[in-house]
Amino acid sequence: MEKQEFLKQLRGIVGRENLISHPEDLLVYEYDGSIDRAMPEAVVLPSCTEQVSRVLALAYREGVPVAGRGSGTGLSGGAIAPPGGIQVVFTRMNQILEVDPENLTATVEPGVINLDLDTQARKLGLRYAPDPSSQKACSLGGNIAENAGGPHCLAYGTTTNHVLSMEVVLEDGAIVQLGGPAREVPGYDLRGVFVGSEGTFGLATKITVRLLPLPEMVKTFLGVFPDIESACSAVSAIIGLGIVPAALEMIDATTIRAVQSVMDAGYPNDAGAVLLVELEGLTEEVEEISEEVQSSLWETGAADVRVAEESTEREKLWLGRKTAFGAFGAIAPNYYLVDGVVPRTRLADVLRLVGEVSTRYGITIANVFHAGDGNIHPCMLFDEREPGILPKVMAAGAELMEYCAEVGGTLSGEHGIGLEKKEFMPLVFTDDDMAAMRQARDAFAPENRLNPGKIFPDGTPPSIAPHRPTAPGMFI
């Protein structure tokens, strides 16, 4: 089928106003939060499951690959369109369909913003626990694709621990239901397999998640340390006591200066690192372990320990943490974020290597990350207009990924593999491991039409230069 005929049929499904095909209009869809770029042939903005099904069925018949896209905040190139492919963008499927306080559930469309769901739930004394740093912008569909985490995933788990069921459209347009209204469903846990599949299994069009009651008490500590090493010691000391905080976040000196330059989050400018430690639960429980946490912070070398018990104080501290990536713009116009996981006991070793890599490559690297579960986020700050900088950035990131694997860690804690880390998969998986994963994918999408070219190594490096649409002959 010729491209224009294909576009005509797409218009017939979603309407003229919900199809984008002019190259100038497509520019905003050629990238996500990563540094990868590739322009789709067209963007479809469906308004219901039936339209998604019909779009995928048409693309399947014509051999056109499809990438799903939510808010475009992903950090591994997961929403980048495949060559000759289209994007199905869910920003217009953004309704909170139901919040059920009796059963502690909510049902939403995939384009619902994470924070909007949490805000709605809090009006009823409930909350949606997964809270990525991009919570104000990221959508639930994208969270499911990447199995997103966030600061509070240390205690409450990542997205997969909070999804009960999904309505999913497969590559040929078939509509299936995965999971159910209860936490325990007989048979294979296809819901669990689907979460984190990075859009390669299908596209979720309706999602039911579980909600949690708001805690009786919340207390947040800011531990101020002279250096990263002592802050790492505090992380190990707190976890070593058997205490699992709701959140345990580390922010280094570079990040502190960036945040404080755009807002006053209450972080001391002369600190080598700060730890945000949040405790939640029953009042008696929080009060009991608060003393142990404070003692651990002092005993591991804290220069100061501040306690925020009022909501305004806590919100100010957390706003600084969640503003960090935007604040890096005060240092450099571009960043490349590495999302590795290491054993907590190796945090200091890995961060020493980060410092060495920064010096060796001449790249400023800031660190702000989920210290409690060893999910590091070295963030390389650079200006892409500098000749030769992108290959240096990618090489530095590769070195960090290799070291994460070497010390017993893994490639991603919450951002997925996507385009950026697919060639590193052999560092942690054997050929047989990856063959089994492909078989699981093929059970859902045997023609590999959904988000092809992601996750598995194929010798193709990420596209870090703009890719323009193909000629109409791509559609045959």
pLDDT tens sequence across 355-390: 999 999 999 999 999 999 999 999 999 999 999 999
In the chain, the amino acid numbered 423 is: E
pTM of the model: 0.94
Q: Which pLDDT belongs to residue 156?
A: 96
Residues with Cβ within 8 Å of 469's Cβ and at least 6 positions away in sequence, in order, are 23, 26, 39, 40, 41
Q: Which pLDDT belongs to residue 367?
A: 97
In the chain, the amino acid numbered 138 is: C
Q: What is the pLDDT along the chain (476 residues), one digit of tens a residue?
A: 899 999 999 999 999 999 999 999 999 999 999 989 999 999 999 999 999 999 999 999 999 999 999 999 999 999 999 999 999 999 999 999 999 999 999 999 999 999 999 999 999 999 999 999 999 999 999 999 999 999 999 999 999 999 999 999 999 999 999 999 877 788 899 999 999 999 999 999 999 999 999 999 999 999 999 999 999 999 999 999 999 999 999 999 999 999 999 999 999 999 999 999 999 999 999 999 999 999 999 999 999 999 997 899 999 999 999 999 999 999 999 999 999 999 999 999 999 999 999 999 999 999 999 999 999 999 999 999 999 999 999 999 999 999 999 999 999 999 999 999 999 999 999 999 999 999 999 999 999 999 999 999 998 766 554 333 333 334 43
Query: Would you say the C-alpha torsion 439, 166, 156, 133 has a positive or negative sign?
Result: positive
Query: Would you say the C-alpha torsion 231, 232, 233, 236 has a positive or negative sign?
Result: positive
Distance CA 97, CA 109 (A): 7
Q: Which pLDDT belongs to residue 464?
A: 55
Domains assigned to the chain: 3-91 (3.30.43.10), 96-213 (3.30.465.10), 217-406 (3.40.462.10)
Residue 314 φ/ψ, nearest 5 degrees: -60, -45
Q: Which pLDDT belongs to residue 463?
A: 58
Which class for 188: exposed (0-12), middle (13-18), buried (19 or more C-beta within 10 A)?
Answer: exposed
